[in-house]
Structure formats: structure tokens, C-alpha cells
Amino acid sequence: MLVRLLYVSQSVGPITTTVTTSILEKSSANNKKQNITGVLCQGSGLWLQVLEGERAQVNALYSRIIADRHHHNIELLSMEEIASRRFGQWSMALVYLSKDDPMVQMAHPEFDPYSATAKNAMSLLEELIETSTPIASTVSA
């Protein structure tokens, strides 16, 4: 059974390029082995992430994320059964959200994933992907 999980968390400490690169490389390699796909949005000290895959694998990964010392204030926004993957082309894609990001300039600077509905958070992620060029690791077919 395929599921899609959406969560938000805050970074413990500054989010540096080294930290982000390390997370992207590790998650891409591990996700390929587990057939998990998704997207990670990073900005303003927040992580907003979607994970897609078989329920057991996604649950196991989310449990590791909860235990990860790089995150705190982790909040599950949604988990739902899905018929197909929305982010199936990426073992993990990364989208940066900076103050200069077109998304922020398009009237979303007030966005707070902790108070947003899961539907609004997912819509924001989808809009970010359409207006940005994600840094991605593709899934080999």
C-alpha cells in the first residue's frame, strides 16, 4: 500500500550547505534502496518534507527522522493512502525557500506550516516545485 506523508520540523542549529548536501546525499541513497520518493523544502530554519512509498518503509523512515538530532518540533501534517506517487521521479528533491525566492515574493511570506492545513502545505510544495528548479536525485528506472 502506497502512502504519502507530509511533515514539518525546525532545524537544530544553522542550515549550512554542508549539512544540506549531506542530508540530500544520504537520503537519496537510502531512499533508493527503500523505494521512497519525495521532496524536501528548506527555508527560514524550517524543513517541510513529503515522503512517498510503501507504508512500512515510510513509517520506518519517519521514525528515524523523529530521532534525528538535526530536527526538533517535528509535526506530522498528514499521512494518506495514495494510488500513485506525485514525486515519483525523485529519490529526494530539494527546494530552497529564501527571502529572494519567487514564492516568497508571490505573497506567501506569511506561510506558517505549523498552522497551515495539510492541503495548503502540499499546495505550497507543489507551487514551489513548479516555480523553482529543485536540486534532485532521480530514481533509476
Q: How many CB atoms lie within 10 A of CB 87?
A: 22
Domains and CATH numbers, the chain: 2-138 (3.30.70.100)
Whether pTM > 0.95 for this model: the answer is no
In a structure prediction context, what are the per-residue pLDDT tens digits for the chain, which is 141 residues long?
A: 999 999 999 888 877 777 777 777 888 888 889 999 998 888 777 888 999 999 999 999 999 999 988 889 999 999 999 999 998 888 877 776 655 444 444 444 556 778 888 998 888 888 877 776 666 554 443
Query: 106: Cβ–Cβ under 8 A, 6 or more apart, which residues?
Result: 131
- What pLDDT is recorded for position 44? 72
Structural contact between residues 94 and 21, judged by C-beta atoms closer than 8 angstroms: no
The b-or-e profile of 16-36 (16+ CB within 10 A means b, else e) is: eeeebeebbeebbeebbebeb
Query: 116: Cβ–Cβ under 8 A, 6 or more apart, which residues?
Result: 77, 124
Q: Which residue matches cell numbers 524536501?
A: 40
